[in-house]
Structure 1
Amino acid sequence: MLRGSYLTRMDEKGRLKIPADFKRFLEEKYGRPDFYITSLNGECARIYPIQVWEEIENKLLTQTAPNPNKKRFLDRTSYYGQMQQVDAQGRILIQQDLRGSAKLVGEVKVFGTLNYMQVWNAEQFQIERIREDKPFTDDDEASLGI
């Protein structure tokens, strides 16, 4: 699983070095995977191993009834989306539109989200958490069944 978070930096060309623990897990589980990098709202990047992204696509393909949320999801993830491979130095390129929208320059925070990674501008993430201003309660945890 991808768990925890790491503070790292985007280089001047928009490349992100995948944290060593995440890289190790991904290689053990998927070999040397390609990635689909996208966003739902332009505030952060989501980096999916292609195998995980294909599972999402297959679930969407089985939905035959018209669903406006499906169209919105596909519109947004296609707008920001791009296939990428890890280079020889363990870096992955995040496309320019998404880097600009999510302010992915300088220090960034990479979060493990079970089967994909999220990349946030480190400062912006703190602002979002403060703005959210809703604590995670015991009832919230209980609703997860854990």
Structure 2
Amino acid sequence: MFRGNHPAKIDEKGRLKLPSAFKQLAESAQVNEFYVTSVEGDFAQIWPLPEWQKREDQLAASSEFEEAARKYLARTSYWGQQVELDAQSRIVLPQLLRKSAGLDDVEVTVIGMRDHIEVHNRQKFEAALQAESFTADDRRTMAELLRRKD
């Protein structure tokens, strides 16, 4: 399970060194292939390939939401690329996505989102955090979610 924030930088060849905590999780799950994608092109998502395949299987089994699933897959395929972790624990982010998300030659924040990782332009991400406060309604919603029993 991916957690936390790990500031990093994308190198001149578009490679991101996977934070050591995330690398250890991938190694323990014997994962060295990933799917790098986005829905809107505003940040990168890095999915361990088995997790991405589960997502694709869920979408394929869902006839109720066919049009939304088709749109989602078209977008994630447009921005997406299957990659392999290299010997130095780096992942290449697709050039098209790097350009769209503003990830070239900038500080990035690498955030664990449970089953995948997000890579954001750090400056843009921090500005968005400040612009979108965590409201009292958000706190109430979170309290309700945490009180629920399975």
Structure 2 residue ranges without an equivalent (≥5): none
With over 3 angstroms needed to count, the CA separation of the structure-2 counterparts of 1:95 and 1:51, relative to structure 1, is same
TM-score of the superposition, structure 2-length normalised? 0.90
**Once the 2 structures are TM-superposed, how far is the Cα of residue 129 of structure 1 from its aligned partner?**
1.9
1:144 matched residue in structure 2 = 145
Query: In angstroms, what is the RMSD of aligned CA positions?
Result: 1.5
1:93 matched residue in structure 2 = 92
Q: Could you say what secondary structure the match of 1:7 adopts?
A: strand
Structure 1 residue ranges without an equivalent (≥5): none
Q: Could you say what secondary structure the match of 2:39 adopts?
A: coil
Amino acid at match of 2:140: D
- The Cα offsets for residues 81-131 of structure 1, whole Å up to 9 and x where unpaired, read as 100001111100001000001101221100000010000010010122233
Q: Percent identity?
A: 37
Q: Could you say what secondary structure the match of 2:6 adopts?
A: strand
Q: Could you say what secondary structure the match of 2:146 adopts?
A: coil
Cα distance in 2 for residues equivalent to 1:134 and 1:145 = 16
Give aligned pairs, total: 145
Judge conservation of contact 2:31–2:48 (CA < 8 Å) in 1.
no
TM-score of the superposition, structure 1-length normalised? 0.92
Amino acid at match of 2:139: D
Amino acid at match of 2:141: D
Matched, 1:44 2:43: yes
Amino acid at match of 1:142: A
